[in-house]
Structure formats: C-alpha cells, structure tokens
Structure 1
Amino acid sequence: MNLEYTVTQSDNNNAPVMLVTGSAKRIGAAIVKAAHRQGYSVIIHCHQSEQEAQTLAAQLNHTRSHSAAVIVADLAVVEEPAALTAFVEEVINTFGQLDAVVHNASRFYPSPLGSIDHIQWNELFLTNAKAPLLLSQAFLPYLKKQQGCIISLLDIHAHDKPFLNYTVYNMAKAAHRMMVQSLALEMAPAVRVNGVAPGVNVLPEPDGDQALDNEQQQRIVRSIPMQRIGQPDEIAHSVLYLVDAKYVTGEIIAVDGGRSLTLAGSLV
C-alpha cells in the first residue's frame, strides 16, 4: 500500500479554498476550473494523473498567480492515522484554510456475482465510501472555522436503480449517499453537506476496460429524455450552486438529463 504523497505548494491569497479529490481530468477538472473562475483557490488532488494535474495547475496559475496547487496522494492515506494527519496538514498549509471539499475521486468497474473478492471490495469501498467519510471527519474542524461545505459526487444508480453486474460499486455509492444525509445532520449548522448524482455525463475512456462501442453509446443516448450525453461543466455548475446555497443541506441533485426517470438499471 502506497501512502506517500507529494505537494506543489502555492502562497495564500486570502481567496476561499476548495479541495477536489481526483480532479486532474474529466468531471473533477471541470469542477476545479469552474471554482477557479468564481475566485476560489483550488487544490487539485490526484493519484496517478500527476502530469495532467500539473498542466491544469499551470494553466490556472497563469490566469491568476498562486491560485492553484497539486497534491499527489493515494487515498489509502485514510487507512493510517499518521498518514491521514499529515495529508490534512498539507492540504491546510497549502493556502492556510479550507472552505469546501468536493469528493470526486472514484473507482468504477464491474464485479459480477461469482467473481467478487476482497480486493474489489476494499478498492471500491475505499474510494467511494471510506475515504469520503474519513476525510470529511478529518477536515471538519477547518470547515467549521470557515462555515464551509462538503459536496459528494454520487451516482443516479446509488438509489434504487443498481447497475447490473456492479454490486460492489452500487453498494459503495449507496453508502456514500447515506453518508451525505447522515453528515448533513451531524455537521449542521456549521457545515453543509450535499451531493450531486450524475447520469451519463462523461463516457468511459475509449482505450479503457469500460470503453463503449458506437452502438452502445447510441442506445444510451436514446434512453436519455434530453437525447444527449451530459457535459462535465453541467456537473460543475450544480456543484458550485450547492457551494453557494447557504440554506441547502442534505440534498442530492440528479444531473442526468432525465435518465433516472426511465432507467431500468443496466449500464446500456
């Protein structure tokens, strides 16, 4: 288990600060960019995408100096108290405060019945449930000081519409959804906790093990009332709304083009 991390540090510029886990690319990067446009200093967390994270930070710092930093860390830091404490300290020391945490990092792959093992369980629950909970707990004192918030990226399949052959992922995301609602009660009134549940807002990487062929993509589009794949920016818009919505907590916004209204549960 790799618990090491590195940080590229920037100076405190007194702007509100947002940490987005798993934010080197795709939806996470869209959230970082949207927050940066609204004046946030942003901490881009990544694990295996450091090059993309550093490129994104450089672009943002070119736009506004000392406004973006990169932390490279395996979220397995939550498994070791000392490593977790060091990670939290590095996050806080990067800009001197923390106003918003967005739990975006996630592992996603099938676990068909008959092949489920401890490795799948531990990996999928770590990123999709355990790390969000333990990080939220660890950051609570700093978020309380700023009257801040937590936003979790969930999934429309985390509530009553499970993916076929994705039992472990479904269970982990359902746990994360319940975390949002539970922490909204426990952290109120100082810290608000909300969630955004995407539908199909990005397609799997074309060269990855979850790649979809053209016919599969077309079947998905036909299943969406809005008749198109969503965009990462549309998720980012909802995240930034919840960051600014001072009287909203415990809510989960579906951003799925209406797909959850018609979805039976399979991936395609």
Structure 2
Amino acid sequence: MQVKDAVVAITGGGQGLGRSMALYLAAKGARLALIDMLEDKLNETVKLCEEAGGQAKGYVCNVAKEDQVEATFSAISQDFGGLDALVNNAGILRDGMLLKAQDGKVTKKLSLEQWQAVIDVNLTGVFLCGREAAVQMIESGRKGCIINISSVSRAGNFGQTNYSAAKSGVVAMTVAWAKELARYGIRSMAIAPGFIQTEMTASMKPEALEMMTKQIPLRRMGQPDEIAHTVAYIIENDYVSGRVVEVDGGIRI
C-alpha cells in the first residue's frame, strides 16, 4: 500500500506523537482522519496537515465509548469513501505503585479508578477502534492495515501496573488480529516506542531526563518522526503482519 492518497485514521491525532505522525504522513500525500477528544488541538493539527500538503479532517471522539467510536468510523468512511489504515495511538498515563507500605502497614494502594481509566483508553479504546476500522475495511472491500502503539513498558515497568498491562494486551490483540483478519486482506502490526522526546518528557526535571537517557544504549531519546517513519514503513510494506517493531534505542526495561 502506498501512503500517498491512502486514507489513514489516527487516534490521539490532535497532539503529541499523533500530530507528528499526521504531519509526516500528510507530507507524503496521505488523507488523514484525525480522532481526539480535544477539538482545539484537532483543528490545529488539521490546519498543519493541510499546510504540509495533505488532506485532513478532525473527529471529536472518546475512544473508550462504543457508540462514539462506531459513529466516528462510519463518518470517516462516508467522508473519505473508505479507510485504508488505522493507527491506534491514543493513550493516557495514571502511574502509581501497586501499593506503598511503612512499618508493616499499607498506606496507599493503586486505585481502581487509576486502573480503569488506563484500561478503558489504552486497551478497550484500541479494541473498539480496531474492530470498527476492520468493519469499514471489510464492508468497503478494501485491504487495510491496523497499527497499534504499544510500549517498551509492556514487559512490566516500575509504577505502571495499569499501563504495562494495557500495552501488553495491545500486543496480544495485534497478533490475534493478524491471524483473524488476514483472510480479508487486513494486516495488523504493533510499534513499541521507548523514551520519545515529547511535550510530556520536556516537562520532566533535567536530572530525571539525564538519568533516563543514561539507560538508553544510544544515549538519546527517540524523536517523534522516528515513530512516524515506522508507521509509514508498516503501511507501505504489505508483508509485515502480526509483529512488534521496537523503536527504543536498544533499551530494555
């Protein structure tokens, strides 16, 4: 599949990695359906994509809400005449240790709210958007590609029980979908980024950033365009499916 003229939906497309992916693909001539909960950010990204040479439209949607996801993907197919690829990028963090204890007494626990919020967006949202993207691809008779954004943290990271569980689940779904959807000409892949230089990492204390960077064999954080480049590679290589591409500078958590 060529990126040029492909209809690509990106969740979390209003900012961060999603915006970087959108701009990278827009410069290659993709037609972009950008999904986010923040309308102002969506509008900004749509304008930037158009300036970069691509066609883009924004859709306000909570990916954890089934009715909103169904309506959004139906609208994308109507607006663009079909769907060729989905990047399941939307995600949130609600970090915290499973529990904290002092002198044999538990003083704090990871709350069910923290757990559920991350599972709802980072796992259920991926399931709902992947399912509805596949529906649109199959019913329009178009071969397609679903790319799920996992994380190096999927192996289990300190203070990230909820996030690690979700990102591990994303990989399991990726493999299952590759097996199930191949008969319809739909590929399923995952990308597991390491530490990427984004707005979130820019707000960290310099000493924390330095400590984090020292753990990376390449001694630097990844750039958003390096993830976007990987997305383009997966879209264009029709023989990759059911695998995880690790873009992490060699780090292992």
* Structure 1 length-normalised TM: 0.83
- Tell me, yes or no, if structure 1 residue 26 matches structure 2 residue 16: yes
- Is contact 2:216-2:250 (8 Å) kept? yes
Q: Give distance in 2, aligned partners of 1:199 and 1:63.
A: 27
Counterpart of 1:166 in structure 2 is 160
Equivalent of 1:130, from 121, 124, 132? 124
Q: CA RMSD in A?
A: 1.9
Gaps of 5+ in 1: 1-13, 264-268
What CA deviation, in whole Å up to 9, does each residue of 1:86-106 have, x standing for no partner?
222122122121000000000
Q: Give distance in 2, aligned partners of 1:248 and 1:163.
A: 28
Counterpart of 2:152 in structure 1 is 156
1:138 deviates by 1.8
Paired residue secondary structure (1:165) = coil
Q: Give distance in 1, aligned partners of 2:11 and 2:215.
A: 30
Task: Judging by fraction of residues, say which structure has more strand.
Answer: 2
What CA deviation, in whole Å up to 9, does each residue of 1:185-218 have, x standing for no partner?
11114100001100001256368xxx42111111
- Is contact 1:225-1:258 (8 Å) kept? yes
Equivalent of 1:15, from 5, 30, 41? 5
What CA deviation, in whole Å up to 9, does each residue of 1:48-97 have, x standing for no partner?
3x2222122113224447x110111112322xxx4443222122122121
Counterpart of 2:104 in structure 1 is none
Counterpart of 1:238 in structure 2 is 230
- Tell me, yes or no, if structure 1 residue 74 matches structure 2 residue 59: no
- Is contact 1:101-1:151 (8 Å) kept? yes
- Tell me, yes or no, if structure 1 residue 198 matches structure 2 residue 193: yes
Paired residue secondary structure (1:102) = strand
Could you list the runs of 4 or more consecutive aligned residues of structure 1 that deviate by over 3 angstroms after TM superposition?
Answer: 62-65
Q: Identity over aligned residues, as a percent?
A: 25
- Is contact 1:184-1:193 (8 Å) kept? yes
Q: Give distance in 2, aligned partners of 1:126 and 1:31.
A: 23
Q: Give distance in 1, aligned partners of 2:46 and 2:19.
A: 10
- Tell me, yes or no, if structure 1 residue 184 matches structure 2 residue 184: no
Q: Which AA in structure 2 matches 1:253?
A: V
1:111 deviates by 2.8
Q: Give distance in 1, aligned partners of 2:153 and 2:124.
A: 18
Q: Which AA in structure 2 matches 1:259?
A: I
Q: Give distance in 1, aligned partners of 2:172 and 2:216.
A: 26
Gaps of 5+ in 2: 100-108
Q: Give distance in 1, aligned partners of 2:61 and 2:196.
A: 25
1:156 deviates by 0.9
How many residues in Structure 1 have an aligned counterpart in Structure 2?
A: 238
Equivalent of 1:57, from 46, 50, 60? 46
Counterpart of 1:5 in structure 2 is none
